[in-house]
Amino acid sequence: MQNLKSLSFLSLSRLHYGPSSPTKSFILLFSSSTCTTLPQTSIPNPIPIPDPLIINYLIETFGLSKTRALSISNRFSWIKSTEKPQSVLQLLRHLGFSEPHIRSSVRVSPQILFSDIDKTLKPKLQFFQELGLVGSDLGKFISKNSSLLTLSLGRKLIPCIQTLKKVLSNDDGNRDLIQVLQRCKWVISKNPESRLLCNIAFLESCGIVGSQLSVLLKRQPRLFMLKEPKLRDLVWRVLHMGFSTDSRMLVHALYTVSCLSNETFRRKIDLFRSFGFSEDECMEMFKRTPGLLRTSEQKLKLGIEFFMNTIKFKKTILVHRPSYLMLSIKERVIPRYRVLQVTEVEDAVEEGAKFYEYVAFD
């Protein structure tokens, strides 16, 4: 019976209402609207209400700005008392942290105040103690690197430290390891598989192994955290300058290039060019003594002027002995040169090798 009614309704609509009939439009509108589900309005999450107790505590105890304290309070809105932060302070004081150490640590990583002491803070602090950082040394280290306490102990800290210790062989008391961490905390900020291990493997494939790899890590730990394409580009630049993977100077050249921007490197080469050195002579000096271009421009200029204008050295002497320019000109070279003048040892002045013996060795 219901089907018959539907059929008769459809038939009537077709017979009596044309395509532009207002009545038909109304019927279609009504029928479609009854089948359409109205959009549901989502209820917004309640805005956390700042706790004035926590805000005042952060401002008065650690000297945080009101804006920063408000942001932190909102971030940890479920904390309604200072019991946990106070417990954290007691732990740090017990471990030998001074008040300045604590304030610095909290200002950089305020979330440590709300960390679980037994599950999070104690294991990480104990880990650093086992590396040799205790008492005020631990406080000083954490005050400058408190973000390390926010990293995963099992996934990041322990694996990275183990990797670094393998590179830093014969590191008694972990002194070199601690030096690396102090110079570049980011060397343990990521999963070791992501960059650290890949970069170590790449450098070893370039012939930088053993003690050379260890020295490079101590001098320039940030190299080990570069994205691989960036590290490959640096090595390519050094190889393009004439170094080879079987040269023991490669690691020193890589260190120098990594310390200087392209502009600074070029500016120092141009300084030599201004004194008449050719591009090839500049590269020859760099290949003989890669550390030469880490010397300041002022010192290089003073040295070139002294050796070429005062002593009248030929360029070839400096090309073959560029380390002359790394000596202290004012404090060492000039005083000894004056002694040579008084004693009239002219041959020593004229012959580069003998002159070097007079001024370079103690």
Give me the pLDDT at residue 53, please.
Answer: 86
Is residue 296 in a domain? yes
Across the range 248-254, mean pLDDT stands at: 96
The answer to whether position 354 is within a domain reads yes
Say yes or no to pLDDT of 24 above 60: no
Residue 158 falls inside a structural domain: no
pTM of the model: 0.76
Q: Does the pLDDT of residue 8 top 90, yes or no?
A: no
Residue 178 has a pLDDT of: 92
DSSP 42-60: PPPPPPPPP-HHHHHHHHH
- Can you give the residue range of the structural domain that contains 314? 262-360
Mean pLDDT of the chain: 84
Q: For the chain, give me the number of helices (H) and strands (E)? A: 21, 0
Structural domains of the chain, count: 1
Q: Could you give phi then psi for residue 242, rounded to 5 degrees?
A: 115, 0
Q: Return the ∠ at Cα 218 (arms to 216 and 219), rounded to 5°.
A: 65
User: Which tokens hold the place of 132?
Assistant: 């040799």
pLDDT over 70 (residue 312)? yes
Count CA within 13 A, CB hemisphere, residue 197. 11
Task: Please give the sequence-ordered ranges of beta strands (E in DSSP) within 70-190, or none if there are none.
Answer: none
Kindly state the DSSP code that residue 333 receives in the 8-state scheme.
I
Q: Which residue has the higher pLDDT, 220 or 6?
A: 220
